[in-house]
Amino acid sequence: MSKTRTQPSARLRIVLAPAMALGPGKADLLQAIEVTGSIAGAGRSLGMSYRRAWTLTEALNSYFAGPLVITKRGGSRRGGASLTELGRDVLSLYRRMEQRTNSVIETELAALQCLRKADR
């Protein structure tokens, strides 16, 4: 029986401030908001509580020069949501950094993979 082995992969976290980072979690959340059209739907699609999805969104919105996510219905926190132009810019900057990173570390990732124990 052969066991599937995990391929080493990179996760890029951008530390923006001491208690604020932009990593795969927030990037996936922004992307899921764009896809699902709501914060609740994005949270569900990522297995994240609504509360957590909302908290992360608020953190992003208050860090940048303007909101990255706007909710469509004025009063309702559970209404539809979408990315602003700034939100799409931030997401696309992150994805570009992620792609560039992956493209320049391929050799080292492969080397790390060769250095692990045979049963890993």
User: Which chain residues interact with its own copies by CB under 8 A?
Assistant: 6, 8-18, 21-22, 62-65, 86, 89-90, 93-94, 96-97, 100-101, 103-105, 108-109, 111-112, 115-118, 120
Q: Nearer to its own copies by C-beta: 73 or 102?
A: 102
What number of other Cβ atoms are within 10 A of residue 25's Cβ?
A: 15
Q: Please, what is the minimum distance in Å from the beta carbon of residue 75 to its own copies?
A: 25
The burial class, CB within 10 Å (0-12 / 13-18 / 19+), for 115 is exposed
For 83, residues 6+ apart whose C-beta sits below 8 A from its C-beta are 30, 33, 34, 68, 69, 91
Nearer to its own copies (CB atom), residue 50 or residue 95: 95
Closest approach, Cβ 105 to its own copies, in A, equals 4
